[in-house]
Structure 1
Amino acid sequence: MAPYESDDSRSAEEADGRYSARRKAARYAVPVAVVGVAAATIGLVPALADSGDPDLPKITAQQLIDKIAQSDVQQLSGTVKISTDLGLPDLGGLTSGLTSGAAGGGSGSSADPSAKLTELASGTHTLRVAADGPDRQKVSLIESAAEYSLIHDGKDVWGYDSKSDEVFHGTAAQDGKKGEAPATPKDFADQALKSVDDTTSVTVDGTAQVAGRDAYKLVIKPKHASGTTVGAISIAVDSRTGLPLKFTLTPAGGGAAVVDAGFTRIDFAKPAAGTFDFTPPKGAKITEDKDAKAPRHSRASGAPQGGLAPGKGPFEGGEGMKVLGKGWNSVATFDTGAKGGIPSSSGKGDLNGFLGSLGDHVSGEFGKGTVFSTRLINALITDDGKVYVGTVTKDTLVKAADAGR
């Protein structure tokens, strides 16, 4: 692994890019794409509550990163709390419905995991998680008087929504790669570390106690904050196993964390075998992945957790995505092929007119367009159908559009 800046200011080597080239453009409205990207970014990042500063041996950032890389926890169970504040407008369920339709690939089932898990993009949620190696995992989203469960057992993936009594059945990715335990911070810590390059500072910032475990705090942040909406990423790492226990992302603009998620309880014992058993309840409506109304993409590229959830990503299909800029100021761009952008008002009260009224209208050398903003991810759609999106400011998006015209 490349060296990272530790407390003695060692500089980092450039690591993997911040965006994956395999994601492609789709003909979705930009506000939907913004929420979809946010949900994908957040995924199932778990939460934590600090309670004390344990006295642990000194460790450098490089040593702590190596500890994360060497961690190989295969069995666990626990409870996770996720609080997300992207600053999305309250559309009375409209946003959730739009993202569910986009992410769900048209299956129409409320049990489709790629649609259901977009709910984690806002509010506070409680999850129960369990894992027993790469082939058996379970995540349950606890709701008021209802529960949604996502179970991976061998080749089968089951989603069950008790509220609607609907079942979704798919097949796990068969790419020969070792899977990751679902709904643990390790997957997201790994992604954060992949984004590290020479524009990034990585340090150890003391210790914490998470879910009764002693942990080190690893902090990742831009060396120069200008242009990015990311303030800092804090990862609490279990001092014994190296497993990340908490992931917190704070915005450059200050205020509450965009994502504050982590374990409130964790047990590394082998879960009971029956934990991963699932039989569809009698009378439940069952939707098979192959019965989805729209083509679905490769599970290997679209599942938020090692192929656990089949579904369609927000940028699947269409022309390829390009990346402009470097490091924290990187901007992904693609062409939807749709001309005319999103009008501010159609005069007919249609959806495009309504969504257009929510954005900020901008202009530059690229022409004209509309910027849709959250506290973390911003997106610009131009009148000629191009999209620019990233964890950057509005001004950075306009500059990227000017440069990419």
Structure 2
Amino acid sequence: MAPNDSAETNGGTRGTAAGRRKAARYIVPVAVAGVAAATIGLVPALASSGDPDLPKISAQELIEKIAASDAEQLSGTVKITTDLGIPSLGGLAESFAPGGAGGAGGKGGSSADPQERMTELASGTHTLRVAADGPDKQRLSILDNTSEYSLIRKGDQVWAYDSKSDEAYHATEDRAGKDAGKDAGKKSGHPVPEGVPTTPKALAEQVLEAAGPTTSVTVDGTAQVAGRDAYKLVVKPKQSGSTIGSVTVAVDAENGVPLKFTLLPSSGGKAIVDAGFTKVDFSKPDASSFTFTPPKGTEVTEADDAKAQHEADKGLGDLIPGAEGLGAGDQGAKNTKVIGEGWNAIAEITTPGSTGLPSKASGDVPAEAQQFLDALGDKVTGKFGSGTVFKTRLVNALMTDDGKVYVGAVTKDALVQAANNAS
């Protein structure tokens, strides 16, 4: 067993908010789920079988081992369980699910569109099959009982295929734009969701990048995951007020690849995100894993054709009326500031026109949407005035009646205090 060792890491704070389709403009809590997904990624419960006896290692050495990991070839099966504590959409589910009236498979959309399908991983339990052969060959498949959704990249070609609907989606990445650090999919005008954290490694990297002096990092024993010996790296906030209790990363003792990622809430209970390999192989995957030809009769949507159904990242523009332009270039920066640091960082967003939350009484919100909002939100008051806190088990958001939004992986009380201090 490896003894407890601790290390401090340096990093910064990041805040992310992504706008979605017009159909969702009244579902403000979906913005919270989107932030959660973008922040922690998405991945599952695996039982450890025995605690292997491994050489002693410090937390700093284990972090360096992760950073130095150069395993670019692998294939395996990943189970993902995500529980953000969001109530059921009820009658809205049909409208916003892929293939529903307002979903990706609705008028003008495609059920194979990656922008929509990757959000499925934000809730429930999913089984993924993954394969990678260097930075330009990757495949991710979401397995269902009777169908499969696959996202394949080979060079600058990206294909997605939904076997249930027999629909495919195709995009060509701008390699020059990518190499310059710009968004993928520039040629098509429709960003492909590159770097969606669907593996324990991607999740661990996001957490370690955000770690800083407000973070405790220790090694807490060993485990065996997917038949491989691993060290357990535990990351915890030093501050109180965060919704995050701890993050545990099982790191392959041989090659430094994270094999399992578990995020526990500070409030206790089951994991918010529990992700890991059930099977993993670090040999070169078969080349056929990265080739795709649409089956005869498949409906293919080109990224250019789908452009009208999606707008570039605009912050909360389609989710909060009057918030168009948030997160978009200089204007988004002017409308957003960060309060606090580390795990307690809160983004304060001022909506243009100081537009508050729409209501059923004003005629702006359908009855089903209002029911969903009421189930998710708590009315609060303070020095700032009044507003509504929308809750998940990870990210919470306070929207004041005068049109300000406070969002972060912090408790309701922390949001109210931040709003009071800003008044």
Aligned to 1:124: 125
Aligned to 1:367: 385
SS at match of 2:387: strand
> Residue by residue, what CA displacement relative to the aligned partner does 1:211-241 show, whole Å, maximum 9, x if unpaired?
00000000000123x2111000000000000
- When residues 8 and 163 of structure 1 are mapped into structure 2, their CA distance, relative to the original with a 3 A threshold, is closer
Aligned to 2:179: 176
Aligned to 2:70: 72
Counterpart Cα distance in 1 of 2:311 and 2:10: 34
- When residues 194 and 283 of structure 1 are mapped into structure 2, their CA distance, relative to the original with a 3 A threshold, is same
Note if contact 1:356-1:370 (Cα within 8 Å) is conserved in structure 2. no
Aligned to 2:318: none
Gaps of 5+ in 1: 1-5, 302-313
Aligned to 1:341: 357
Counterpart Cα distance in 2 of 1:204 and 1:79: 26
2:218 to 173, 185, 203: 203
Aligned to 2:139: 138
Counterpart Cα distance in 2 of 1:32 and 1:332: 17
Using structure 1 for the length normalisation, give the TM-score: 0.85
- Deviation of 1:183 after TM superposition, in Å, equals 3.3
Note if contact 2:92-2:368 (Cα within 8 Å) is conserved in structure 1. no
Counterpart Cα distance in 2 of 1:339 and 1:180: 33
Counterpart Cα distance in 2 of 1:97 and 1:333: 31
Do residues 220 (structure 1) and 235 (structure 2) align? yes
Residues matched between the structures, number: 382
Aligned to 2:415: 397
Counterpart Cα distance in 2 of 1:344 and 1:250: 36
- Deviation of 1:93 after TM superposition, in Å, equals 6.8
- Deviation of 1:390 after TM superposition, in Å, equals 1.1
Q: Compare 148-157 and 162-171 and name the one that shifted more.
A: 162-171
Counterpart Cα distance in 2 of 1:267 and 1:364: 55
SS at match of 2:39: helix
The residue type paired with residue 213 of structure 1 is: R
Aligned to 2:187: none
The residue type paired with residue 403 of structure 2 is: G
Note if contact 1:160-1:168 (Cα within 8 Å) is conserved in structure 2. yes
Note if contact 1:342-1:381 (Cα within 8 Å) is conserved in structure 2. no
Do residues 244 (structure 1) and 244 (structure 2) align? no
- Deviation of 1:14 after TM superposition, in Å, equals 3.5
Aligned to 1:305: none
SS at match of 1:187: helix
- When residues 75 and 140 of structure 1 are mapped into structure 2, their CA distance, relative to the original with a 3 A threshold, is same
Counterpart Cα distance in 2 of 1:322 and 1:196: 20
Counterpart Cα distance in 1 of 2:338 and 2:344: 10
Counterpart Cα distance in 2 of 1:182 and 1:152: 15
Counterpart Cα distance in 2 of 1:285 and 1:374: 37
- Deviation of 1:322 after TM superposition, in Å, equals 2.3
Q: Compare 188-197 and 170-179 and name the one that shifted more.
A: 170-179
Aligned to 1:308: none
Counterpart Cα distance in 2 of 1:118 and 1:166: 18
- Deviation of 1:265 after TM superposition, in Å, equals 0.1
- When residues 96 and 385 of structure 1 are mapped into structure 2, their CA distance, relative to the original with a 3 A threshold, is farther
Aligned to 2:344: 329
Gaps of 5+ in 2: 182-193, 316-324
Aligned to 1:353: 370
Counterpart Cα distance in 1 of 2:196 and 2:344: 31
SS at match of 2:37: helix
- When residues 327 and 390 of structure 1 are mapped into structure 2, their CA distance, relative to the original with a 3 A threshold, is same
Using structure 2 for the length normalisation, give the TM-score: 0.82
Note if contact 2:384-2:420 (Cα within 8 Å) is conserved in structure 1. yes
Aligned to 1:267: 281
Aligned to 1:319: 332
Counterpart Cα distance in 2 of 1:73 and 1:289: 31
- When residues 96 and 40 of structure 1 are mapped into structure 2, their CA distance, relative to the original with a 3 A threshold, is farther
The residue type paired with residue 233 of structure 2 is: L
Map 1:228-307 to 2 at 5 A: 228-292=242-306, 293-294=308-309, 296-297=311-312
- When residues 43 and 281 of structure 1 are mapped into structure 2, their CA distance, relative to the original with a 3 A threshold, is farther
- Deviation of 1:168 after TM superposition, in Å, equals 1.2
Note if contact 1:362-1:368 (Cα within 8 Å) is conserved in structure 2. yes
> Residue by residue, what CA displacement relative to the aligned partner does 1:251-293 show, whole Å, maximum 9, x if unpaired?
0011110111100000011111111111112222211212222
Q: Compare 332-341 and 59-68 and name the one that shifted more.
A: 332-341
Determine what percentage of the aligned residue pairs are the same residue.
57
1:16 to 5, 12, 17: 12
- Deviation of 1:369 after TM superposition, in Å, equals 1.2
Aligned to 1:310: none
- When residues 177 and 124 of structure 1 are mapped into structure 2, their CA distance, relative to the original with a 3 A threshold, is farther
Map 1:22-101 to 2 at 5 A: 28=25, 29-45=27-43, 48-92=46-90, 94=92, 98=96
Counterpart Cα distance in 1 of 2:215 and 2:348: 23
Aligned to 1:309: none
Note if contact 1:237-1:245 (Cα within 8 Å) is conserved in structure 2. yes
> Residue by residue, what CA displacement relative to the aligned partner does 1:354-383 show, whole Å, maximum 9, x if unpaired?
343221111222222111111111111122
Do residues 382 (structure 1) and 422 (structure 2) align? no
Counterpart Cα distance in 1 of 2:253 and 2:126: 26
- Deviation of 1:172 after TM superposition, in Å, equals 3.3
Note if contact 1:30-1:387 (Cα within 8 Å) is conserved in structure 2. no
- When residues 37 and 324 of structure 1 are mapped into structure 2, their CA distance, relative to the original with a 3 A threshold, is same
Aligned to 2:209: 194
Counterpart Cα distance in 1 of 2:134 and 2:378: 47
- Deviation of 1:343 after TM superposition, in Å, equals 2.7
Note if contact 1:55-1:207 (Cα within 8 Å) is conserved in structure 2. yes
- Deviation of 1:316 after TM superposition, in Å, equals 5.3
Note if contact 2:356-2:404 (Cα within 8 Å) is conserved in structure 1. no
